[in-house]
Amino acid sequence: METLYEEIDLLNSEGAIFKLRKKRDINPPLAFMLYDRKGVSCGVYTKRELLDVLSGKSDLVDSTGKTWNYPSQPEGMKPNSDRLTKFMGV
């Protein structure tokens, strides 16, 4: 049985720090759900809000309150830009 959601690791260091999830049957996606390494929901983002995170205009916050500035993280922790762009429907 096919899952209803598709996901991608937004940041990964020996395991996902943040995962983005979207509904599989909606294209382009209307919203993205963010989960941290504990599997705790850390919010729902529109495409615009997610682009703000990716550009560094806003930070990610995990369930412990730690903030993560996406552009400041090493490239090896991030997904391939083409894969992320396709996932976001940009």
DSSP labels for 52-82?
HHHHTSS-EE-TTS-EE-GGGS-GGGSPPHH
**pLDDT at 1 > cutoff 70:** no
Tokens of 57: 């205009």
Model confidence over 53-75: pLDDT tens digits? 999 999 999 999 999 999 999 99
Model confidence over 12-50: pLDDT tens digits? 999 999 999 998 777 667 899 999 999 999 999 999 999
Tokens of 35: 């989960």
Give residue 2's pLDDT: 61
- Sequence-distant (6+) residues with CB within 8 A of 63 are 36, 38, 40, 42
- Predicted model pTM: 0.87
Give residue 23's pLDDT: 85
Domain extent listing, the chain: 5-88
Identify the CA nearest to 77 among candidates 17, 2, 7, 4: 17
